[in-house]
Structure 1
Amino acid sequence: MAAVESNMMPLGTVAPDFSLPDVVSGQIKTLEDVRKEYGVVVMFICAHCPYVKNIEEEIAVIARQYGELKIGFVAISSNDAIAYPDDAPDKLRDQAEEFEFDFPYLYDETQEVAKAYQAACTPEFYLFDEDLKCIYRGRFDASTPGNPEPVTGDDLVNAIEAHLEDEPIFEDQKPSIGCSIKWK
């Protein structure tokens, strides 16, 4: 598995809008639908990537915890499902159900949303504030498959906590590392 780093969208970038189908409900969801009072976490994940598999259980826990505190969460998969059938919408739905994701899981078939977010890998995380400006982008935590670091979500959680407490978010944001987005 070749590791790819995220592109690190410039801080202050306004979240690109989207209108994508939710693999669980079949409903079309937009950025406005998923944001909450204090902003939104947009994550690019998929079903087959070992880097995502390493953290998917903790993603669900953190989304439940902070979703109750008025931060929206949404997952987007942009992988080419023809070349990578394990990332087809039905497999994404299975993943969402298995880990009890309580946030929309959207499929970006055209890959235009991934391009708009400058996404490069799975997993990749972005935190946008109440004005939908990027205040954090990068990794979930220091864990990767095969390293001894525990899965905690600390990097994302620390950014969310600082935002909710109206404190500055740490400037030393580390890029996410994962599998490349599977472009068509």
Structure 2
Amino acid sequence: MIKKRTVLAALVVTGLIASTSSAAFANHGGGNGGRGEGNRGGGAIASLVTAGTINQTQADAFKAAMKTKLDAKFVTKLNTVLTGLVSNSTLTQTKANAVKAAATTKKSIRDLVTAGTITTAEATSIKTALRALPKEDITVIRDEVLTSLVSNSTITQAQADAIKAAKAAWVGKLGSHRGADLGTAQTASLTY
């Protein structure tokens, strides 16, 4: 039950963003440090900086671009879910708007349930609908980000290739992500 509450809280606090997706991630350090970053790919990027393959500015640009891309994908998925829940009368539009607004004030879904804004069943419906969305391949997202960084001359193609190689083990561990995982603190702010 605690794990479910934690997942629900993480969904709202870090992903339910109506207009500015990065606001909900400010309290997680954007991937700088944090819980087990080395196990999530941060160590691979740090090793490239240490080796002189990329500089810290390039590493930060890559992490920020991944976070932005993952946040945007999550917001799209969230809006899809909320629209569906409104259209099938699981949520009212007012409640859907409250869920979106909660992230801009850094409220958790638990706060919305406690305040009586939404019910526990409605919170569960949001989580379930997010998890039911199709999987996304994180390597595709990574490759889009790297292509963009090469195009705008932030990194070279050789550096992009080095990042891909360094990240191969991390991507192998994570594989694909369900919609609910894209943009959460555990994924987006520790990105890649």
Q: Same fold (TM over 0.5)?
A: no
What's the TM-score once normalised by structure 1's chain length? 0.29
Q: Which has the higher helix share?
A: 2
**Structure with greater strand share of residues:** 1
Q: Which has the higher contact order (CA 8 A, sep 6+)?
A: 2
